[in-house]
Amino acid sequence: MSPRPVLSEPMNGFNSFLAQMAGGPLHEIGPADPGSEPAAIGFALNLAASWARQAGVIWAGEEGVFAEDGAPYSPGLAQLGLDPGRLIVIRAAKREDCLWAAEQALSARGAIVICALSGRGKPLDLKTTRRLLLFAERNGSKCLLVRPRAEASAAWTRWRVAAAPSRAEPRELGPPAYAIELMRSRGGPAGARFTIEWNAHVRAFEQRDVARDLSAASEYGPADQIRARA
């Protein structure tokens, strides 16, 4: 098992989190509410692109995810800064097949793997997420587990993601923007919230603002309740 991560305080900004997350083998991403599933997978794709650089990305997803949110679209992926020629997409009819494919992909040294699950299948137990963590640790790879349910997880961090308003000019399409919240962290307190934009040209996130209040209530409830549910 890899050493316990030590994440920076939220006031240091999202990029401080991001730099230290890059050393983590497993992170979990989920929609903040129903309808935010595309934002969650978009954030995962951006995060994978920021880590992959010249390497490829493997995206293993349940067929139900693609049926609900749409299949990968090459021009759109290119606009996100992710080379479609360096992306392998695996569409699995069953949840166990999707998880097996993700584990096999994580066996490739240094792989960046997205494992996307729908909300309709059998809930995952802690053992299943630990397997993903161990596969990633052994091979120096990274896994982004995307799922809507906040079940038990071995992930180093757990994020909830929603779309944020674009700052584009009228009638123009702006860069992807996300409102994200850290729901769980093995290396410190949860509760950090950020609004970020994705710059596809440099494959990096740009932060709009920082919000930190671990005691105040939010739409998810007080921070101690958030950590208890995580």
Kindly report which listed range (7-11, 66-70, 190-194) carries the lowest average pLDDT score.
7-11
**Model pLDDT for residues 97-124, shown as the tens digit of each residue:** 999 999 999 999 999 999 999 988 788 8
Taking CA atoms, 206 is separated from 44, 50, 80, 87, 222, in Å, by 15, 12, 14, 24, 27
Dist. CA 101–CA 204, nearest whole Å = 28
- What per-residue confidence (pLDDT) applies to 147? 94
- What per-residue confidence (pLDDT) applies to 5? 46
Whether the predicted pLDDT of 57 surpasses 90:
yes
Nearest to 182 by CA among 147, 134, 214: 214
- What per-residue confidence (pLDDT) applies to 62? 95
- E strands present in the chain: 26-31, 57-62, 87-92, 112-116, 142-146, 157-163, 177-185, 192-199, 204-212
Rounded to a whole number of angstroms, the CA Rg of the chain reads 16
Domain boundaries, the chain: 10-69+81-229
Reported confidence tier of residue 12, pLDDT bands at 50, 70, 90: low
Average pLDDT of 27-32? 96
Point out which residues pair with 62 in neighbouring strands. Answer: 92
Whether the predicted pLDDT of 230 surpasses 50:
no
Dist. CA 187–CA 2, nearest whole Å = 12
Arithmetic mean of pLDDT over the chain: 84
Q: Is 10-69+81-229 a CATH 3.30.750.24 domain?
A: no
Dist. CA 29–CA 123, nearest whole Å = 16
**CB 27 within 8 Å of CB 155:** yes
Whether the predicted pLDDT of 138 surpasses 80:
yes
Whether the predicted pLDDT of 139 surpasses 80:
yes
